[in-house]
Amino acid sequence: MIRMILLSVAVGLGLGAKSEAQSVDLGARVAAAVEGHIVPGYARFAQSARELSDVAKDQCVPSDDGLQTAFHLAFDDWVQVSHLRFGPSEADNRAFALAFWPDTRGKTPKALAGLIAKKAPAGLDVEEMMQQSIAAQGFYALEFLLFDPQIMMMGEASYRCALVRNLAEGIAIRAEAIHLEWADGYGAAMMSPAEEGPYRTAEEAAGELVKAVATGLQFTDEARLARPLGTFEKPRPKRAEARRSGRSLRHVVLSLEATGDLAVILAGETSAGQRVATGFATALSNAEIEDPVFAGVADPIGRLKVESLQQYVYGLREEAVGELVDLLGVSIGFNALDGD
What pLDDT digit, counting tens, does each position of 220-240 carry? 999 999 999 999 999 999 999
pLDDT by 10s per residue, the chain, length 340: 445 445 444 444 444 555 565 578 999 999 999 999 999 999 999 999 999 999 999 999 999 999 999 999 999 999 999 999 999 999 999 999 999 999 999 999 999 999 999 988 877 889 999 999 999 999 999 999 999 999 999 999 999 999 999 999 999 999 999 999 999 999 999 999 999 999 999 999 999 999 999 999 999 999 999 999 999 999 999 999 999 999 999 999 999 999 999 999 999 999 999 999 999 999 999 999 999 999 999 999 999 999 999 999 999 999 999 999 999 999 887 654 554 4
> Is the CB of residue 206 less than 8 Å from the CB of residue 266?
yes
- List all residues 6 or more positions away from 209 whose beta carbon is below 8 Å from its beta carbon: 29, 30, 33, 262, 266
> Is the CB of residue 242 less than 8 Å from the CB of residue 224?
no
| CATH homologous superfamily of 2-328 | M75 peptidase, HXXE motif (1.20.1420.20)
> Is the CB of residue 88 less than 8 Å from the CB of residue 173?
no
The whole-angstrom separation of Cα 241 and Cα 228 is 8
The whole-angstrom separation of Cα 180 and Cα 190 is 15
CA nearest to 98, candidates 139, 54, 44: 139
What pLDDT digit, counting tens, does each position of 300-328 carry? 999 999 999 999 999 999 999 999 999 99
